[in-house]
Structure 1
Amino acid sequence: MKKTVLLFIISISTVFGAYAQRTTLPQFSVGFNPGVAVGSVSSVYPVAGELSLRLVYPLSTSPVSITFTTGYTFYTSSSAYSVGADFGGVGVGYSSGDDYYGSTASFIPVMAGVKVYVARRVFIEGEAGASFNVNSYPGDYTGKTTAFIYSPGVGYTIPLGYRGRNSADFGLFYENRVEPGGGYTQIAAHVAYNFGL
């Protein structure tokens, strides 16, 4: 039993030692994240996405980094819809049956989290924080002006430039702005360019 445990510990250490993305450079990241809405909001706003700005701080030469992210998140309608009937009356100020065309629900997320390399260039990450409603009228499109938001994801990093100082991330993430009735939820691709600082 002791040999099995020891072998397991050595194996894990070897994996992290050989494959972890080891960099001590903080990075600034600019990302574009095209996505699709899921859940109750998808019947009203099927198209979703995000522009993101991120600071990444590695913890020494470990595979773990601390992240701080903000940006602009949007959910866009594709055709006419009935706010009251389709989205449970969340559109404050609109009556059931009223049709509106081509609108966009806009939010600014502010999140912190961790990014962990579990194999060479392969990472998992998770962030949480607050999402701020920045629509024309504070009550539009949402039951909350400020709401809790969380986002887990997975991805792959490709080093670029001299000694990999810069890099590109490609991944997939899930994001939920928690609201009564299900909130604003999307699944999106993550494409980002990371600048070494």
Structure 2
Amino acid sequence: MKNSFKISALIVAFAGLAFSAKAQTTTTTTTTTSTTTPGGIRYSIGVDAGIPTGNFKNGYKWNIGGSLQADIPVASQLFVTVNAGYNNIFGKKDVAGTGVNVPNVQLLPVKAGLKYFVIPNFYVQGEAGAAFLLNKSDFYNDKSTAFVYAPQIGVQFPVSASSFIDAGVRYEATTKYSSNFDGSKVNFVGIRVAYGF
């Protein structure tokens, strides 16, 4: 119940940010592509995948998920991003021959940040927010929410007058889900391939 309230509050807050930013922007033309809505906002839906890094890779193999993102123009070549998604990180089976099966980690990250086009179609992006652990009961963690951050680089190129492909590589990491265990941090190198409109 508590997590549902937190998730709902974050989604409402991000939606409010998106709508207030839209209300303050005029029709924007960027030099990157012509694929924007009349208000200049770009929407995308993507597939996310990754490989764990650091100590986290000792118990986990790979992850897959999906995300929705809105890019809201605030200046020439600069966008505010709002992103929400789902990630399932697959635990290893029979770790080191011990018979121990590591449970999957199911995360719902909600992030906001900035995307800047350094040159046409090539961008750098940084986001931060909260990552909600949806299956806390499978672990001995004392927290179900952690701070998450994700620097990213990518390319965005048009496929028609009203759509584009957005492909990026990022490093994503969280703070600890257990106060007493450094291994409860989630970190991975991932990719996002999205269809935008």
Residues 7-61 of structure 1: CA distance to partner in whole angstroms, max 9, x if unpaired?
xxxxxxxxxxxx941656212111112110001111101212331111111125x
| 2:65 aligned partner | 50
Q: Which residue of 2 aligns with 1:120?
A: 120
Q: Among 166, 174, 177, which residue is 2:174 paired with? A: 177
1:119–1:158 distance in 2 versus 1, CA, 3 Å? same
Note the C-alpha offset of 1:134.
0.4
Determine the C-alpha separation between the residues in 1 that align with 2:151 and 2:140. Answer: 24
Which of 34, 44, 50 is 1:29 aligned to? 44
Normalised TM-score (structure 1): 0.73
1:66 maps onto 2:71 in alignment: no
Q: Deviations over 1:43-94 (max 9, x none)?
A: 101212331111111125x100000001102210232238xxxxxxxxxxxx
**Secondary structure of 2:56's match?**
helix
C-alpha spacing 1:156/1:177, structure 2 compared with 1 (3 Å) = same
CA contact (8 A) 1:28 1:194 kept: yes
For the 8 Å contact 1:166–1:193, the answer to whether it is kept is: yes
Aligned AA (1:194): G
1:44 maps to a residue whose letter is G
| Structure 1 residues 185 and 142: alpha-carbon distance in aligned structure 2, compared to 1, 3 A threshold | farther
Alignment match, 2:20: none
Counterpart residue identity of residue 187, structure 1 = V
- In structure 2, C-alpha distance between the alignment counterparts of 1:72 and 1:141, rounded to whole Å: 21
Cα RMSD between the aligned structures? 2.2
Other-structure match for 1:76: 90
Distance in 2 (alpha carbons) for counterparts of 1:168 and 1:53: 13
Q: Counterpart of 1:40 in 2: which secondary structure?
A: helix
Equivalents in 1 of 2:81, 2:174: separation in Å?
19
Identity %: 28
Gaps of 5+ in 2: 1-29
Q: Distance in 2 between matches of 1:142 and 1:169?
A: 35
Whether contact under 8 Å (2:92, 2:101) holds in the other structure is no
The code of the aligned residue for 1:190 comes to R
Is this contact kept in 2: 1:22–1:63, CA < 8 A?
no
Distance 1:170 1:71 in 2: 16
Query: With structure 2 as the length reference, what TM-score do the two structures score?
Result: 0.73
Letter in 2 for 1:114: L
Structure 1: gaps of 5 or more residues: 1-18, 83-96
Residue in structure 1 matched with residue 145 of structure 2 by the alignment: 146
How has the CA–CA distance of structure 1 residues 80 and 142 changed in structure 2, closer, same or farther, with 3 Å as cutoff? farther
CA contact (8 A) 2:147 2:174 kept: yes
Aligned length: 158
Runs of 4+ with >4 A deviation:
none
Q: 1:142 to 1:167 in 2, by over 3 A?
A: farther
Contact 1:159 1:168 in 2 (8 A): yes
Structure 2 partner of 1:100: 101
Computing the radius of gyration from Cα coordinates, the structure with the larger value is: 1
Q: What are the equivalent positions in structure 2 for 1:4-19 lying under 5 Å apart?
A: none
